[in-house]
Amino acid sequence: MKKITKIILLSLVSIFYIGCKKKSVKVSQEEPLNIILMIGDGMGLAQISTAFYFGEKIPNFEQFKNIGFIKTPSTSHTITDSAAGATAFSTGQKTYKRSIGMSKDSLPIPTIIETLQEKGYQSGLVSLTPITHATPGAFYAHVKDRDLHEDIALDLVKSNVDFFAGGGLKYLKHRSDEKDLYAELIAKNYQLDSVKLSKYDINKKNGYLLADEGLPSKTEGRKSFFQDATQLGLDYLTEKEKPFFLMIEGSYIDWGGHAMDAELLKQEVLDFDKTLGLVLKYIKKHPNTLLVVTADHETGGVSIGKSYVIDEKTGERSEEVDNVSINFNNDQHSGTLIPVFAEGRGSENFRGIYENNEIYHKIFKSINNK
Ligand SMILES: [Zn+2]
């Protein structure tokens, strides 16, 4: 090929390439952005690391390129809890420990679900705990203390959340005020199921409350609820063809820390990673989606250290050079920086080190293409 022809050909190819690239970016930015926020309750870097040591495959966490860290203190306590942590994500404001959707002065502040509903968004919540528990509750309720489950349930009825799956049936059905919130939701055009993750009704809102309190943990025999509920939520919200916000909580990584139970911690992290895999697959098919994966705080002061075996006869300790042990500092939350992983449109906004409430503002920055 003559040099000049080659140059012309190359220029044509690059013009075509730039043209395509520009066009695809423009199209996707005109569409409203879907938001998926995955919260691994109590999931610090050591918890995530367990997936790298104990998983059978390369963890899905390894797919992320945009990674940051958050500082987690609440306004009242340096070591935070799930209520203040989730409220920082859901409202963009730091608040006091135990607050559900309330400011540091105990005034209700709009949550991301309420703000996005005004923009025509649908919303969904997936949790393993009661749907009235601190993390999911902070996304739709406004109460002064996280233990007020029955009040949080009253706010669930008012919230118009399009899809929810988790536990907590008793806070709707067996209440001290004898109200039947289950019946009230059905009257508000919800299809509800308290037995299984049945097929959703596309013409209704859908709620699944599969336990009186929380669902079983992995070590108690939970099967594929976390993946199935997440997939069901994604299918439903996608089929409705409106933008959505979906919060998915891996609730029991925190419990592994509180119980100082290495097996529970490992299994819950691996289950979280498995669910993350299906969400990342969704993002590949639906690039007009932002996924943010983080935690409210770390639990247990967990570290990954040397593993030892003790000789029964001599009592001598020797290192297992090809193994590690999961060590707990105590059974409480800790104050370490928490990793943030992001994928999809706007994911570059999540690099750096910043306060936990910035997650909310960065989500809106991504929605507004800034
Ligand atoms: Zn906790």
Q: What is the CATH number of the domain that holds 85?
A: 3.40.720.10
Would residue 321 count as lying in a domain?
Answer: yes
CA 333 to ligand 1 centroid distance, Å: 6
Q: How many domains does the chain have?
A: 1
- Lookup: tokens for 16: 């075509």
Local structure of residue 216 (DSSP, 8 states):
P
Give distance in angstroms: CA of 135 to centre of ligand 1. Answer: 10
Range of the domain at 284: 30-147+245-367
* Distance from C-alpha of 130 to C-alpha of 4, rounded to nearest angstrom: 69
pLDDT of 4 reads: 52
Average pLDDT over residues 209-222: 98
Instruction: Give the pLDDT band of residue 8 (cuts 50, 70, 90).
Output: low
Name the least confident of 22-26, 179-183, 227-231, 260-264: 22-26
Cα–ligand 1 centroid distance for 43 (angstroms): 10
pLDDT given for residue 28 in this prediction: 54
Beta bridge partner(s), residue 318: 309
Displacement of CA 341 from its chain's centroid (Å): 11
Read off the DSSP letter of residue 200.
P
20-29, 80-89, 180-189, 221-230: segment of lowest average pLDDT: 20-29
Q: Is residue 194 part of a domain?
A: no
pLDDT band at 370 (very low <50, low <70, confident <90, very high): confident
- Residue 317 Cα, ligand 1 centroid: separation in angstroms? 33
Ligand 1 centre distance from Cα of residue 258 (Å): 7
Query: 170 exposed, middle or buried (CB, 10 Å; 0-12, 13-18, 19+)?
Result: middle
In a domain, 35, yes or no: yes
Ligand 1 center from residue 251 Cα (angstroms): 9
What residues have a C-beta under 5 A from ligand 1, the ion? 254
Please report whether residue 43 resides in a domain: yes
The percent of residues above 90 in pLDDT, for the chain, comes to: 91
Tell me the residue type at 22. K
259: in domain: yes
Query: How far away, in angstroms, is 85 Cα from ligand 1 center?
Result: 11
* pLDDT, average across residues 143-171: 98
Residue 113, pLDDT score: 98
DSSP alpha helix (H) spans, the chain? 3-30, 45-54, 82-91, 112-117, 134-137, 149-159, 170-173, 181-187, 225-239, 253-258, 262-285, 358-367
- What pLDDT score does 27 carry? 42
Does the pLDDT of residue 23 top 70, yes or no?
Answer: no
Per the prediction, the chain carries an average pLDDT of 94
Q: Report residue 231 as tokens.
A: 């997939």
pLDDT at 6: 54
Residue 163 CA, ligand 1 centroid: distance in Å:
25
Express each pLDDT in 50-96 by its tens digit: 999 999 999 999 999 999 999 999 999 999 999 999 999 999 999 99
Per-residue pLDDT at 18? 45
Measured in whole angstroms, the distance separating CA 187 from the mean position of its chain's CA atoms is: 29
CA of 284 to the centre of ligand 1 (A): 33
Give domain status of residue 54, yes or no: yes
| Residue 7 falls inside a structural domain | no
DSSP structural state of residue 143:
B
If you measure from the C-alpha of residue 8 to the centroid of ligand 1, how many angstroms do you get, rounded to a whole number?
63
Residue in the block written with tokens 């809106």: 364
pLDDT more than 70, % of the chain: 92
Helices 225-239 and 262-285: crossing angle in degrees, nearest 10, is 20
Ligand 1 center to residue 188 CA distance, Å?
Answer: 33
Residue 297 has pLDDT above 60, yes or no: yes
Average pLDDT over residues 224-243: 97
In this model, does residue 107 exceed pLDDT 70? Answer: yes
Cα 42 to middle of ligand 1, angstroms = 6
Q: Considering the domain boundaries, does residue 217 fall inside one?
A: no
